[in-house]
Structure 1
Amino acid sequence: MTGKLLAVKGIKFLFGLAIVITSLFPLAWMAVAGFKGKSEVLRSPFQFFPDMWDWTNYRQILADPAFVRTLWVTFAGAVVFTLLSLFINSMAAYAFARLDFFWKPLWWVVALMPMFVPGMAILITSFVVVSKLGMLNTIAVLIIPGLASSGQMFFLRQFYLNTPIAVEEAALIDGASRWQIFTKIFLPQSKAPFVVMGFGSFLAYWNAYVWPLLTVGDNPNLLQMQVYLAGFRSERGDDWGLLMAGGTIAALPTIVLVLIFQRYITTGVRIAGMK
């Protein structure tokens, strides 16, 4: 039995190792390719490591004011978008989980409907709306339209429904207002789901391409990272090593956030699996 158990554990370990290698290989290759020259990245036969490690591509891309500005503008926008999204959707989730108001079941259905509508299906109509509102080429057009999220509301509402009603009733008896209950009781216990939902919001903003291209494509001061990288070839030609260096630096913020909040992400995913 012991030998059989060890064999099962060994198979699980090898399977997990294969998944890790498969997942990390593209990222590792991109980072290493940043140390290669123009002719080395796509050289045949394939060679993973460069003939000589050279930091020129990383120094050059970091010395580019347009890249650095785009990196900071995108990061700042992603942080603001994430915080506002969590705040708005958590309030809506609390209202649907704990408050009673007129036609609540109907409004809950209406709130969930966007979850089943593909974003590309309403892309043109969304563009017309923000254009009529005069929001084009502003930071607001990148942040405001996507703040309300049916998925976040649904997930947080399910989480809030598990909070014992007795705790809330005791707070009401002690004279606490609904706002105090929300900020003092519900928000402090929401760290794990907030990290999971917040990381999803951050990634959605950071990886956005079509919407920024349509709405702020003419404003170099609001250029977003994915749009910058997509237009890299037309501006820099076939300098693949420089592009790989830029892509690696652009991936670092999300990697760092995963490493910082991995404990909460694991907890949040486990909570989601119990719903």
Structure 2
Amino acid sequence: MRLKEQFVKIVLYAVGLLIACIALFPLLWMAIAGFKGKTEVLATPFKFLPERWLFENYISILQDQMFIRSMLITFGGALLFAVLSLAINSSAAYVFARLEFRFKRVLWVYVILTMFVPGMAILLTSFIVVTKLGMLDTMAVLVLPGVASAGHMFFIRQFYLNIPMALEEAALIDGAGRFKIFSHIFLPMSYPVFVIVGIGSFLGYWNSFVWPTMTITNVNLFQIMQYLATFRSERATELGLLMAGSTLAAVPTVVLFLIFQKYIIRGIKISGLK
């Protein structure tokens, strides 16, 4: 019986390792392609390793002031977006999970319905709105429109529904108000779910391309994906340099995952609750 269990474990580990290798192969290829010359990246026949390792690609891209500025601006914007997303969506989730007020069910249905509207379907109308508000070419146009998310509200609300009512009732008896209950009981217990929502918000902002391209024309506010797209169109032959830039642009997201992987797994388990 033990032999059978060990065999099953080995098979599962082997399958997991194979899936991990397949998933990581494009990222590994991109990182190695950053060391290749201009003609090597798409050369035929395909060669995984470069003939000569060119560290100059990474050095050159790190010396590009526009690349560094785009990385820093995108990182700052993503951080602000994640913080605001957590603050707004967690507050709304608490209200819908714990408070009773008129038209609560109607409003919750209205919020949930927005989850089924594709972002591309409202892209033009959203652009008209921010244009009328004079928000073009500002950080506000990148951060504010997507902060409130029905999906994140729903996820956090499901977590709050599983917090025992006894804790809240005890706090109310002790004279605590709603804000104090939310800030002293619910927020400290929300760390795992906040990691999921925060990382999701951060990655959503970091990887966005269509919306920044539509609303930002000032090169000083270019987001990292805009920079890479502009680089690709203006310097199409320098693919090794482009791969180096793309690899460095992926580093923050990879580091974020490695730091919070334990909480991501715990958050996935939480998502299966009531």
Deviation at 1:25? 0.3
The worse-fitting range, judged by mean Cα deviation, of 235-244 and 247-256 is 235-244
Corresponding residue number in structure 1 for 2:185 = 185
Corresponding residue number in structure 2 for 1:57 = 57
Q: Output the CA distance in 2 between the equivalents of 1:2 and 1:46.
A: 45
Deviations 1:221-251 (A, max 9, x none): 1101111111212221311100000000000
Output the TM-score relative to the length of structure 2. 0.97
Corresponding residue number in structure 2 for 1:34 = 34
Corresponding residue number in structure 1 for 2:272 = 273
Q: Output the CA distance in 2 between the equivalents of 1:109 and 1:68.
A: 43
Corresponding residue number in structure 2 for 1:229 = 228
User: In the TM superposition, what are the counterparts of 1:1-275 in structure 2 within 5 Å?
Assistant: 1-216=1-216, 218-275=217-274
- Kept in 1: contact 2:158–2:273 (CA 8 A): no
Q: Output the CA distance in 2 between the equivalents of 1:214 and 1:37.
A: 33
Give the aligned CA root-mean-square deviation in angstroms: 1.0
Output the TM-score relative to the length of structure 1. 0.97
1:271 alignment partner AA: I
Deviation at 1:11? 2.2
> How many percent identity over aligned positions?
59
Q: Output the CA distance in 2 between the equivalents of 1:2 and 1:169.
A: 50
Structure 1: gaps spanning 5 or more residues: none
Q: Output the CA distance in 2 between the equivalents of 1:7 and 1:107.
A: 53
Q: Output the CA distance in 1 between the equivalents of 2:7 and 2:101.
A: 58
Q: Output the CA distance in 2 between the equivalents of 1:233 and 1:200.
A: 27
Deviation at 1:273? 2.3
The worse-fitting range, judged by mean Cα deviation, of 21-30 and 9-18 is 9-18
- Kept in 1: contact 2:207–2:225 (CA 8 A): yes
1:121 alignment partner AA: A
Q: Output the CA distance in 2 between the equivalents of 1:39 and 1:156.
A: 49
2:25 alignment partner AA: F
1:94 alignment partner AA: Y
- Kept in 1: contact 2:70–2:222 (CA 8 A): yes
Deviation at 1:55? 1.0
Q: Output the CA distance in 2 between the equivalents of 1:237 and 1:169.
A: 63
1:164 alignment partner AA: P
Q: Output the CA distance in 2 between the equivalents of 1:114 and 1:138.
A: 26
1:255 alignment partner AA: V
Aligned length: 274
1:26 alignment partner AA: P
